[in-house]
Amino acid sequence: MNFRLPKTERLHSQKSIKELFDKGSSFFLYPFKVLYLVKEGELDSSSPNQILFSVSKRKIKKATGRNLMKRRMREAYRINKHLLSNFTSQLFIGLLYVSSETMDFKSVEEKTRKVLERIESEVKNQSHE
C-alpha cells in the first residue's frame, strides 16, 4: 500500500479549486466542512484523487497553529486515503477546518476517517441513482 502524498494528489490548480467550490457537493462533520466533486471518466495512474487542506485565518490566528492543523490533517488523510481507492472516477476533495481550537492528532484522524467513509458512501449513492 502506498502511503505517500505527492503533489499530484494535492489539489493546487486554481481552475480545479474553483470548479470544486462552484459545482461540488458539501457536508459538515465537525470540525470539517467537506467539499467533494466526482470527475467522471476513467481513472488512470496520472489522475489520482486530489485533496485540498485549508484552515481559516479567522478561526486560528497564528500561522504556527494553522500549519500544525494542516500537518495533522495531511497526515490523517495520508494514512487513511486507501478508504477511497476503489473508485473508477477521480475525486476532488476540499477539507476545510472550521474549529477555533487545535485538536490532537488522534481526534483529527478519527474525524478524517469518518469523513472519508461518508464521502465513499455518498459517491456510491450518487452513482446508483
The radius of gyration of the chain's CA atoms, rounded to the nearest angstrom, is 14
The proportion of the chain whose per-residue pLDDT surpasses 90, expressed as a percent, equals: 78
> Domain ranges in the chain?
7-128
Q: Region 41-48: what's the mean pLDDT?
A: 62
Domain 7-128 in CATH 3.30.230.10: yes
Q: Region 28-35: what's the mean pLDDT?
A: 97
Q: Look up the pTM and report it.
A: 0.91
Asked if 92 and 16 count as a contact pair (C-beta separation under 8 A), the reply is: yes
Give per-residue pLDDT as tens, 82-116.
Answer: 998 877 788 999 999 999 999 999 999 999 999 99
99: Cα within 13 Å, side-chain hemisphere: 15
- Is the confidence at residue 44, as pLDDT, over 60? no
- Is the confidence at residue 20, as pLDDT, over 70? yes
